[in-house]
Amino acid sequence: MPINWGLEFFDPFREFERLQEEVDRLLQLTSPFIPIRAAVARGTFPVINIGETSDSVLVYLFAPGIELDKIDLSIEGNILSISGERDATKALKVENVDPARYYRQERFSGRFTRAVTLPDSIDPSQVEATYQNGIIKVKIGKKEEKKARRIEVKASC
């Protein structure tokens, strides 16, 4: 609850949010490509974790309850696009629960789409995806680093 201190309201929780945003910004400056905690709107689906090893970037898509034939992944340049459809009522239909009689429904049904930017160092031709226990793991190889070539200077006569 904001506190009225004169003409301006002071919201201590907003101050914590601003502090977290500043920490995230500082971490982004020191991270190779992604802050530790990226700000994403609540309810964004699928939830994603992105990390890297010395030779690849790993993307974990947490998508429980989605059938593999209902999800599409594509990569163009350094943009990974995810789209699909989820039927959250399917599990309840097995139990003969009428969707109109839900008391609470927190999982949505319907189409979704999401795109994430990956580092420029990825090689889109080196992509593989696997699915296990509701988690899709996308492994994208990195481009070979171009190394500087030493040029020998010869004395001319």
Residuewise pLDDT in 10s, the chain (157 residues)? 555 555 556 677 777 778 877 776 666 555 455 444 555 555 567 889 999 998 999 999 998 878 888 899 999 989 999 998 887 777 666 667 776 776 776 777 788 889 999 998 999 999 999 999 889 999 999 988 766 678 888 888 7
Q: Is the peptide bond before 35 cis (omega within 30 degrees of 0)?
A: no
User: What domains are defined for the chain?
Assistant: 1-39 (no CATH), 42-142 (2.60.40.790)
Report the predicted TM-score, pTM, of the whole model to 2 decimal places: 0.62
Decide: 80 and 118 in contact? Cβ < 8 Å.
yes
Pure H helices in the chain: 12-30, 90-94
Residues linked to residue 122 through DSSP beta bridges, in sequence order? 142
What is the dihedral angle through the alpha carbons of 14, 18, 20, 26, rounded to the nearest 10 degrees?
180
